Amino acid sequence: MIDRGSPVPSVGVKLVSADGATDTTSDAILGTGLVAFFAVPGAFTPTCHVNHLPGFVANEAKLRAAGVERIVCATVNDHHVVKAWAEVSGALGKIDFIADGNAELAEALGLMKDFSASGMGLRYARSAMLIRDGIVGAVFVEDAPGVNASGAPAILMALEAAYN
């Protein structure tokens, strides 16, 4: 797993934003300013859709007030599914999304988790990071089901403690 102080890897991904989907690299998305990055096992999956993403949407203004310049969500889904999820959730335009369809960024970050037993294959472990200018400042990985360590409230507390 990526450690505090490590640079974010450069992996080809699709950026899904209000402007559409574009081919880019993870370091281009995560490498400038203070970024609140969170990763979910899958778009539209119950915990991701009902608990994890909505917390970041609801706390967008607070995160920005705390100095976050970009909020980014990554998931191992194709960019069509990710765009539909962003639109339905009301997150498009507030949060940028990384469609990591082949789990290459998940693997490069050391955050890949095998969900094959539930028919989902390789996905992200539910997690979050604070990244400043491409360097990981903090990593939060859930050690049990649910959203606690990687949710927006935990990120806000970490921002208050470490970055203010």
Output the pLDDT for position 44. 86
Would you kindly state where each structural domain of the chain is located, as residue ranges? 12-162
- Least-confidence region, from 37-46, 90-99, 118-127: 118-127
Rounded Cα distance between 30 and 148, Å, is 23
Q: What is the mean pLDDT of residues 3-23?
A: 94
CATH superfamily of 12-162: Glutaredoxin (3.40.30.10)
Residue 121 has pLDDT above 80, yes or no: no
**CA–CA gap between residue 136 and residue 106 (Å, rounded):** 15
| Per-residue pLDDT, 163 | 53
Of 12, 40, 54, which is closest to residue 123 (Cα–Cα)?
40
Residue showing tokens 């606690």: 148
Catalytic residues: 48
Q: What is the 3-state secondary structure (H, E, C) of 105-129?
A: HHHHHCCEEECHHHCCCEEECCEEE
